[in-house]
Amino acid sequence: MAPNNDPLLDGFGSDRIDASRQVLALRMAKEDADERAYEISQQIDMNQYYDKEEEDLESGDYIPKFSWKKLWMFTGPGFLMSIAYLDPGNIESDIQAGAGAGYSLLWLLMWATVMGCIVQLLAARLGVATGAHLAELCREEYSPWARNLLWIMTEIAIIGADIQEVIGSAIAFRILSNGLIPIWAGVLITAIDGFAFLMLEEFGVRKLEALFGGFISIMAISFAWMFARTKPDFQAIATGLVIPGVPSKAVDIAVGIVGCVIMPHNIFLHSALVQSRSIDVTKKSRLREALRYYTIESSAALFVSFLINLFIMAVFAKGFYGEMSRPNIGLINAGEYLEQEYGGGYFPILYIWAIGLLMAGQSSTMTGTYAGQFVMSGFLDLPVKKWVRVLVTRSVAIVPTIIVALVFDGSENNLDRLNEWLNVLQSIQLPFALIPLLCLVSSQRIMGVFTVGRLTKVVASVIAILVMGINFYLLLVFFWASNIQSVLGILSVMFGAACYFGFIIYLLLRPSASDGLWASLMDRNNYRSIASNDPLQ
């Protein structure tokens, strides 16, 4: 994507553009502090970890030496983001992939995680370089009808993900209570305790990050214990990771893996989470260093999530691939099948499974609510208190979940099938987060010297094309499987498909408005005034 040719910026070099962009970012942060992702009092001040010698050496290209202490202080946002790769929707996909295709789709899980990592690093880059998260930038950069439609699509994705996450927790509650807690009651418990856990943020961001770190640790221990107990075939695992292949009967499962690994709302979430650290944006070296540490911790977090997903897929590949019971296995009865196959001992595998599932559901539903806050405040710019946003966003997602729980409670096969289609929904919605992200990080007007390079653009574009190709396949499958015979039905499907791809084309051809976020803050005289007092010059 070509750099922006905004006439307001004629006669100014890219360094001057970047410097003034950062000055404007500071101005926005001061004027709109209450509307930022994190209030100043909530942010962790990273400037205190620089000594006098480092400050004297700092320049645009200087990056301080690596520090484990700084890495530790930057660690947190990536692990919160990685929870979305471990939610009950992913676990459902792992079960279906392992039981339905054995070890043969492990390579797809690995590369889907790699693709997800690339996308998440772009989201972090956007948040660090601009001081605004993706929803805020979409609000300012796109025309009203486009940004409202983007908001609706994102909310649909959040609701779909939350249905899986909350029901996953409810299933775990039912198992751990020996059936005393029905699905609908587990949904209500999850809705209530989600509020309680999120209140930890009032005591500091690090407290909340520590809580999520504990959730991930319990998940890792639970599913690693199951992996060791079932003893999968290590040679088959290695083969599945290296040799690509998709069994003819597992195409839908393969599509679901891509759809549930890279989640739309998680892109919005990560671009906001990185702003929990206060960085001096007038120093490009500080921003470059932050990106380095975020790259390390996000990659490490997603590697952990990949291992946990691999454990689950391998367990069900070993125990249930080729078995007659496979078509009926899902989140609800997976623990019972595991108990039948590998039961006994002091620690019943049924409850180990339920504990891991509970941690996945509890943590992911909280990050979903967290993402909902950023999405709603970013797109709608509502001047309301944070607790009100939490209540509204939680209600938007929880009401459909309760309805689903009441309708499907006791219908295990239908509930598992619903989970599969909700994974597909994530894949269909993904372009509406991915395309704006790629367009924004490719804009020199917005990113300055932090604009992504040509190779990154190519790789990210290939990922986007792959995802949209999968979406096109899904629409074709839906069209043929629905067996629509009426002319009105056929025209409706064609119209819906045309609108879907038309909006995608619009987002690609018109990546941002000429009077968007940064340009709207500048006129030629004001721009010269700011540039002449540039602190980076």
Categorize the per-residue pLDDT at 302 as very low, low, confident or very high, splitting at 50, 70 and 90.
very high
- Express the helix, strand and coil content of the chain in percent, nearest 5 each: 80, 0, 20
Which amino acid appears at position 522 of this protein?
M
Residue 54 C-beta-side C-alpha neighbours within 13 Å? 14
Q: Which of 158-167, 356-365, 528-537 has the highest mean pLDDT?
A: 356-365
Categorize the per-residue pLDDT at 508 as very low, low, confident or very high, splitting at 50, 70 and 90.
confident
Q: Measured at the alpha carbon of residue 351, what is the angle toward residues 408 and 402, in degrees to the nearest 5?
A: 25
Cα–Cα distance list, 436 to 120, 172, 280, 508, 511 (Å):
13, 36, 26, 8, 7
The mean pLDDT of 65-75, rounded to a whole number, is: 88
Write the pLDDT tens digit of every residue in 439-467. Answer: 999 888 888 888 888 888 888 888 888 87
Write the pLDDT tens digit of every residue in 259-275. Answer: 677 788 899 999 999 98
Residues 6 or more apart whose Cβ sits within 8 Å of residue 186: 167, 169, 170, 171, 172, 173, 174, 405
Q: Measured at the alpha carbon of residue 208, what is the angle toward residues 203 and 209, in degrees to the nearest 5?
A: 135
Q: Which DSSP category does 62 fall into?
A: -
Write the pLDDT tens digit of every residue in 234-248. Answer: 999 999 999 888 887
Cα–Cα distance list, 196 to 3, 170, 390, 464, 533 (Å):
46, 17, 11, 37, 47
Residue 6 confidence (pLDDT): 39
The mean pLDDT of 204-223, rounded to a whole number, is: 88
97-129 CB burial, b ≥16 within 10 A, e <16 = bbbbbbbbbbbbbbbbbbbbbebbbbbbbbbbb
Instruction: State how far the Cα of 244 lies from the Cα of 250, in Å rounded to an integer.
Output: 13
The mean pLDDT of 285-301, rounded to a whole number, is: 91
- Other beta carbons within 10 angstroms of residue 483's beta carbon come to 7
Residues 6 or more apart whose Cβ sits within 8 Å of residue 164: 87, 88, 89, 92, 419, 422, 423
Structure tokens at 248: 């003819």
More reliable by pLDDT, 445 or 197? 445
Which residue in 398, 406, 399, 405 sits closest to 419, CA to CA?
Answer: 405
The mean pLDDT of 303-322, rounded to a whole number, is: 91
Rg (CA), the chain: 24
Share of the chain above pLDDT 70, in %: 73
Residues 6 or more apart whose Cβ sits within 8 Å of residue 179: none
Residue 81 confidence (pLDDT): 92
User: Cβ(282)–Cβ(536) under 8 Å?
Assistant: yes
The mean pLDDT of 489-517, rounded to a whole number, is: 73
Categorize the per-residue pLDDT at 221 as very low, low, confident or very high, splitting at 50, 70 and 90.
very high
Write the pLDDT tens digit of every residue in 167-187. Answer: 888 889 988 888 888 888 888
- Which residues are 45's β-sheet partners? 278
